[in-house]
Structure 1
Amino acid sequence: MLTPRHQALLMTLAGMTVGVAVFGAVLVINGGNPFTAHDTPSGIVNSHPPSGTPTRTDGLQADSLQYVVQNFGSSNDPVSAEVPTGWKSAQAGTRPKFLDPTGVWQIRFDTRGSKQTPDELVANRERSIDEHDLKVLSRDGGTLIYTYTDRTRGPRMGLSRWISLDGGKSSAVEITVGGRPQDEAGLRAILQHATDTIKLPVAPGDNRPN
């Protein structure tokens, strides 16, 4: 006959056996992981990329841009214009260039001016571009818009504008922006913003090249 003490011991062992069996069943159901999707253990973070992070297939959107003033030119002929925030200077002086951190987009200026008209410079630039699959989309208003295929970076788009301060008789500055065809909306916005914000010195003499 089992004593009360032996009976209590047998009941305890039976309970432990049932507990082990239930835990094993849970492991089988959950594929060997005792933690379900809703029971992540403390210290483990489910990491997901931010939903707003752009990919290389996204186009540059005008409403995503913010701008900051950049100064360039020379000490005798200082120039300033607003370019997208975060773009870094890759070249200074009278022909500065600013690149976004990824190197996909850029804007550059040529502040040396020219005695040629904007329309003449548009025609000259069109003839001088030596790129594969060149396609001119527009050449109106002193602005050349074109696409081509870069052998390294693939399809590209360029927008070059020449600004006149004397009614179109000559050109004071060139602004060019570059990116991909899907960036057209953003590139147009950058070009227009630079056009609207550029500040040029009033030179006493005319020392522009032909």
Structure 2
Amino acid sequence: MLTPRHQALLMTLAGMTVGVAVFGTVLAINGNGDDDHRATDVVTSQTPSTSTPRGDGLQAESLQYTAQTFGTDRAPVTAEVPATWRAGQDGERPRFLDPTGVWQIRFDTRGSSKSPERQVSDRERSIKEQDLKVLSRDNGTLVYTYVDRVRGPRMGLSRWISTDNGDSSAIEITVGGRPQDEAALSAVLERATKSLQLPDSSSRPN
């Protein structure tokens, strides 16, 4: 039979055991909380994306040009186009595209008895794209926007050039891209126009 002294000793030991267990439990809980806090720090400290916004337009000052010759052997035509744009087809209706396929310039060297002004009117009526908006139609140049079902908003600039004071059209130049590329597309069209060399070497567009 336990004496009062022995009973007091056992109760003291039991109290110490419970205290150690509770302390261990608190440490375990605090340890799990620290792990969660560290995991949260890892997630929130990730480096944000630095991808370039898709809305950025083509920059005219970034373009370099090279001369391309096309047409036929008997009637060659030369014009300067952006150096990185590659020929998608040649001959009398060549087309040059940038590597991404977003921008392009094409030529039609077959000529027409129609005046540039008539060509502008006919092209305007022939475009069947969604949400067509004609921005200008001056001096034999048609500028327009539309929505492509696959590529979204697009812009086109088509110019017809005459070598007989506007009675007929010798060549068509069309550039295409997106509305935000308008300044660069205009620069590409102007560069092609000013560098154009037609079969009659004495004739250059004004």
TM (normalized to structure 1)? 0.71
Equivalent position to 1:79, from 59, 64, 77: 77
- 1:129 is aligned to 127
- 1:95 is aligned to 93
Equivalent position to 2:59, from 51, 55, 61: 61
Code of the residue aligned with 1:79 in structure 2: it is V
Equivalent position to 2:115, from 114, 117, 127: 117
**Unaligned 5+ residue runs, structure 1?**
1-27, 33-48, 204-210
Structure with bigger gyration radius:
2
Q: CA deviation at 1:61?
A: 1.7
| C-alpha distance in 2 between matches for 1:60 and 1:54 | 13
Identity of aligned residues (%): 65
Q: CA deviation at 1:85?
A: 1.1
Write out the 4+ residue segments of structure 1 that deviate beyond 4 Å after TM superposition: none
Q: CA deviation at 1:193?
A: 0.4
Moved more, 181-190 or 61-70: 61-70
Code of the residue aligned with 2:87 in structure 1: it is S
| C-alpha distance in 1 between matches for 2:106 and 2:177 | 12
| C-alpha distance in 2 between matches for 1:54 and 1:129 | 33
Q: CA deviation at 1:172?
A: 0.5
Equivalent position to 2:199, from 195, 198, 201: 201
Q: CA deviation at 1:63?
A: 1.0
Q: CA deviation at 1:55?
A: 4.8
| C-alpha distance in 2 between matches for 1:92 and 1:79 | 11
**C-alpha offsets along residues 84-119 of structure 1, whole Å, 9 cap, x if unaligned?**
011010010000000000000000000011111000
Code of the residue aligned with 1:144 in structure 2: it is L
- 2:176 is aligned to 178
Code of the residue aligned with 1:176 in structure 2: it is T
**C-alpha offsets along residues 40-86 of structure 1, whole Å, 9 cap, x if unaligned?**
xxxxxxxxx9x9x9653211121111101111111111111100011
Q: Could you say what secondary structure the match of 1:83 adopts?
A: strand
| C-alpha distance in 2 between matches for 1:66 and 1:171 | 28
| C-alpha distance in 2 between matches for 1:101 and 1:185 | 20
| C-alpha distance in 2 between matches for 1:156 and 1:180 | 4
**Unaligned 5+ residue runs, structure 2?**
1-34, 40-48, 202-206
| CA 1:179–1:77: 2 relative to 1, 3 Å | same
- 2:141 is aligned to 143
